[in-house]
Amino acid sequence: MEPVIVIGAGLAGSEAAWQLAQRGIPVELREMKPEKMTPAHHTPWFGELVCSNSLRSDQLENAVGLLKEELRRMGSLILSCADEHRVEAGGALAVDRHGFAQAITEKIRSHPLITVVEGEVEHLPAEGQVIVASGPLTSDTLAEDIKGFFPESHYLNFFDAAAPLVTFESVDMESAFFASRYDKGTPDYINCPLTAEEYEAFWTELCAAQEAEVHGFEDKNVFEGCMPVEVMARRGHDTLCYGPLKPRGLKDPKTGKEPFAVVQLRKDNADGTIYNLVGFQTHLKWPEQKRVFSMIPALKNAEFLRYGVMHRNTYLDSPRLLDRYYRVKKDPRICFAGQITGVEGYVESTASGFLAALELSRRLRGLPPVDFPQETATGALALYISNETVTDFQPMNVNFGIIPPLGYKVKGKRNKNAELSKRALEKLAELDTE
């Protein structure tokens, strides 16, 4: 059998290659790293996380928690590597980013049916079955080629930002304290408190700090879920105190009270030697990041291992171009998967890679496709992406709003969500996902 060509060994491409190979389909996985790097990728590993090391909530009362559980039950490579390389992060699934990516790389490279071919793909292959999973930072040449492939439509884009990383030993623990919000779970976060005066000075400087040039960027073009901290700050004096600097449920042991504002740091590696600034995606100039973020008392001597960056993030107008299996409607030989389809986030990208590969492997084995019902998170996401009635298409995180309601009343949002998840997992159990 001719191998399926998978372009890009990120989260979607690695998952897709693995699922195909596990079902006996040979794969040629084409990845341009390390020869050519996108502006946000830094390592030769597959499945590299370009920003936060968190795959978000791991609880079934949350839609992304449900999506993870569905993927686990279906044998996802990305989820099994994430579980294996988990670092403590309260109710979230956060990972040691290097251990996680290395595990994915080893699994992929040692699979007998996967051949890795290094180098940039410049054109959509003219023959064979293809899954394009080249991500939001698809190389320019390939992006141009994809644009040409869809002359009837056009690419859409928005801007995405990454947060900085600091070393643990440079955080002043005299000014900071370990705790989790409302003391739930283990005290995994480092909390850096600010008084009202310290916040005032920090907020003023943050709003006025110099931004790096990003061509075509305006505040309105940001994705709300990954908004640069300086853009959020400019929305109002206290906006940050309701967002990433929210002090609720975080009592400073020194005073016994909630501080005026709190910056949280989350472990970025299993050793706990590196922490990221939670919610501090930014596109300030690097010296400005050092100057302004060092105004947070616990970070006054912080050593920045990596500064935040901002990039254009490109995706297709999928409702007009793709079907529920992420196949190109006009040419089902080609599928897209991952962030380029307009699913937003690590887990969502993984889910689309899984579904695209499952369908393609079944087609190649002469089996009918699996129609994931909308009650499942996997199905709801795919149906949203391919829903032609969605006109102003925007990148979409999985959420319970795209899953049909229960049809009966359940008291309390958490209980209702738990019930939605229960229903989803029951529906999933009825499917043949081989």
Ligand X SMILES: Cc1cc2nc3c(=O)[nH]c(=O)nc-3n(C[C@H](O)[C@H](O)[C@H](O)COP(=O)(O)OP(=O)(O)OC[C@H]3O[C@@H](n4cnc5c(N)ncnc54)[C@H](O)[C@@H]3O)c2cc1C
Q: Does 121 bind ligand X (CB under 6 A)?
A: yes
Q: Does 51 bind ligand X (CB under 6 A)?
A: yes
| Pick 17 or 171: Cβ nearer ligand X | 17
Dihedral of the alpha carbons of 94, 98, 104, 107, in degrees to the nearest 10: -130
| Contact pattern from residue 348 through residue 377 relative to ligand X, giving x for each residue in contact according to CB under 6 A and a dash for the rest | -x----------------------------
Q: Does 160 bind ligand X (CB under 6 A)?
A: yes
Q: Does 226 bind ligand X (CB under 6 A)?
A: yes
Three-state secondary structure of 30-99: EECCCCCCCCCCCCCCCCCCCCCCEEEECCCCCHHHHHHHHHHHCCCHHHHHHHHCEECCCCEEEECHHH
Q: Does 244 bind ligand X (CB under 6 A)?
A: no
In the complex, least distance from residue 13 CB atom to ligand X, rounded to whole angstroms = 6
In the complex, least distance from residue 10 CB atom to ligand X, rounded to whole angstroms = 2
In the complex, least distance from residue 416 CB atom to ligand X, rounded to whole angstroms = 25
In the complex, least distance from residue 345 CB atom to ligand X, rounded to whole angstroms = 4
Q: Does 346 bind ligand X (CB under 6 A)?
A: yes
Three-state secondary structure of 314-355: EECCHHHHECCCCEECCCCCEEECCHHHCECCHHHHHHHHHH
| Contact pattern from residue 78 through residue 117 relative to ligand X, giving x for each residue in contact according to CB under 6 A and a dash for the rest | ----------------------------------------
Q: Does 269 bind ligand X (CB under 6 A)?
A: no
Is 13 annotated in a binding site? The answer is: yes
CB-CB contact of 325 with 335 (8 Å): yes
What residue type is 267 in one-letter code?
Answer: K
CB-CB contact of 53 with 62 (8 Å): no
| Pick 181 or 311: Cβ nearer ligand X | 311
| Pick 31 or 288: Cβ nearer ligand X | 31
Q: How many residues does the chain have?
A: 434
CB-CB contact of 257 with 269 (8 Å): no
Q: Does 63 bind ligand X (CB under 6 A)?
A: no
Q: Does 165 bind ligand X (CB under 6 A)?
A: no
Is 24 annotated in a binding site? The answer is: no
In the complex, least distance from residue 159 CB atom to ligand X, rounded to whole angstroms = 9
| Pick 101 or 194: Cβ nearer ligand X | 101
Dihedral over Cα of 384, 388, 391, 395: its sign: positive
Q: How many residues bind ligand X (CB under 6 A)?
A: 39
Q: Does 342 bind ligand X (CB under 6 A)?
A: no
| Pick 82 or 190: Cβ nearer ligand X | 82
Three-state secondary structure of 259-272: CCEEEEEEECCCCC
Q: Which stretch binds ligand X (CB under 6 A): 9-17, 196-204, 370-378, 422-430?
A: 9-17
Helices 77-84 & 63-73 angle (0-180, nearest 10): 110
Of these, 17, 162, 261, 292, which contacts ligand X (CB under 6 A)? 162
Is 75 annotated in a binding site? The answer is: no
Q: Does 228 bind ligand X (CB under 6 A)?
A: no
CB-CB contact of 241 with 247 (8 Å): yes
Backbone angles phi, psi at 50, to 5 degrees: -85, -15
* Residue 117 β-bridge partners: 30
| Pick 134 or 361: Cβ nearer ligand X | 134
In the complex, least distance from residue 397 CB atom to ligand X, rounded to whole angstroms = 8
Structure tokens belonging to residue 51: 């920003």
Q: Does 311 bind ligand X (CB under 6 A)?
A: yes
Q: Does 396 bind ligand X (CB under 6 A)?
A: no
CB-CB contact of 377 with 351 (8 Å): yes
* Residue 284 β-bridge partners: 211
Neighbour-count burial of 242, counting CB atoms closer than 10 A to its CB (0-12 exposed, 13-18 middle, 19+ buried): exposed
| Contact pattern from residue 128 through residue 157 relative to ligand X, giving x for each residue in contact according to CB under 6 A and a dash for the rest | -----xxxxxxx--x---------------
Q: Which stretch binds ligand X (CB under 6 A): 6-14, 94-102, 269-277, 319-327?
A: 6-14
| Pick 140 or 434: Cβ nearer ligand X | 140
Give the count of beta carbons closer than 10 Å to the beta carbon of residue 261: 24
Residue nearest to ligand X (CB): 10
Q: Which residues have CB under 8 Å from 401's CB, separation 6+?
A: none
Residues in contact with ligand X by CB under 6 A are 7-13, 30-33, 38, 40-41, 50-52, 120-121, 133-139, 142, 160-162, 226, 311, 313, 338-340, 345-346, 349
Annotated binding site for FAD: 8-13
